[in-house]
Amino acid sequence: MSLHGTMSSSAGQRASLAATLVLLLVGAACSGGGQGQTAPGGGGAPPGIPVKVQVAQASPINETTEYVATLKSRDSAVVMPEVEGQITQIYVHSGDHVAAGAPLMQIDPRKQEATVSSQEQMREAQQANVALAQQTFERTNGLYKAGVVSKQDLDQAQAALDTAKAQLQSLDAQVKQQQVQLHYFKVVAPREGIVGDIPVRVGDRVVTSTLLTTVDQPGALEAYVYVPVERSTQLKMGMPVDIVDAAGKAIAQSRITFISPQVDNSTQSILVKATIANSRDRLRTSQFIRARVVWGERQAPRVPVLSVITLGGQHFVFIAETENGKIVARQKMLHVGEMIGNDYVVLDGINAGDKVIVSGTQFLTDGAAVMPQV
């Protein structure tokens, strides 16, 4: 090959490389022009995340406060002894159903039985005295009619008879009193019902102030609710009161039937009572329960449960807001109340009319651009 041929081949290669370089530059310029067209006026900003939104609707909710309350039976009889003595026998157990007049306990009656026996003997002796005074009077009366004795003797016989009869009546009354007292040594149920706790045992000595047990009739109870004195001006007769379980679900409904006119000095609270029907016997006397006092009604927004994010025990939602001509997601912390259907009632955090983001929240951050979709 000649020198001229070699130089021609090298020139051709250089020309081919130059042409390829020009084509690459033209392609890059065209590509840059295309990118500018996909984000007009945005300086290359990425498009927003597509989301669905729902307007928070206002709904009426109850303004309530929960208090710890105590249940007491409206048909409960406290059983205390009428006499003092030692318990010798207990006939029933806690939880037994008894009829009115059924024996519950026996207090040692021996001393009283001896007293009754002594009184009865004294009465029998006085009956003999009355019989003798009656015979004396009849005999004196016959002698007086025969003119043997004076009127004074007849009057003395009459007085002796009257005195003996009066003493007999007094002894009769004493015997009856001691017999009634003897009946009190057997403690009986004052009414039909269920026997409560029995804190005493056989051998215990009891007095008239000793609590032996209670007899309760199933049925209506009363909730004793102590409301702080600061809210006393808001209390009204007939105000709703709900008895709720640990999950906050209402298990009984009632209304205020009594408001104490006095303040409890130790707790600075007002005693409020509400009658509980308790038809299913789900509640028990002396049980501590949660009573929800309903103060009134107000409007509050509701949000779907699926839109609520829970982090560290706190509740959040994303709200679509317009800022500087763009729609962005803003994270809001909520104070939620009870659930109504599939919605949370929002007590604080957002307002009715806010646009709540209900989908795609897992991809959102505070301030992220979004595109609401129908």
Beta carbons of 373 and 51 less than 8 angstroms apart: yes
CA distance 343 to 56: 10
Q: Give the pLDDT score at 280.
A: 65
167 CB contacts (<8 Å, ≥6 apart)? 126, 129
Per-position b or e across 26-46, b if 16+ CB within 10 A of its CB: eeeeeeeeeeeeeeeeeeeee
Residue range 343-370, pLDDT digits in tens:
888 888 898 889 999 988 888 899 899 9
Distances (CA, A) of 62 to 257, 297, 305: 20, 4, 20
Domain annotation for the chain: domains and CATH numbers: 49-60+299-373 (2.40.420.20), 66-74+217-298 (2.40.30.170), 81-213 (2.40.50.100)
The H or E element spanning position 122 is helix 110-145
Residue range 204-220, pLDDT digits in tens:
999 999 999 999 887 77
Average pLDDT over residues 64-79: 88
Q: Which two tokens stand for residue 305?
A: 């449960």
Percent above pLDDT 90 for the chain: 56
Average pLDDT over residues 327-331: 92
Q: Give the pLDDT score at 40.
A: 41
Q: Which of 237, 236, 221, 192 is nearest to 286 (CA)?
A: 221
CA distance 347 to 225: 25
Res 21 pLDDT > 60: no
Helix/strand/coil percent split, the chain, to 5? 30, 40, 30
Residue range 142-186, pLDDT digits in tens:
999 999 999 999 999 999 999 999 999 999 999 999 999 999 999
Q: Give the pLDDT score at 15.
A: 43
Helix axes 151-183, 110-145, angle to 10 degrees: 160
Q: Is this model's pTM higher than 0.75 or not?
A: no
Q: What is the mean pLDDT of the chain?
A: 85
Q: Give the pLDDT score at 374.
A: 61
CA-based Rg of the chain, rounded to a whole angstrom?
49
CA distance 283 to 290: 12
Average pLDDT over residues 101-127: 95
Q: Give the pLDDT score at 279.
A: 61
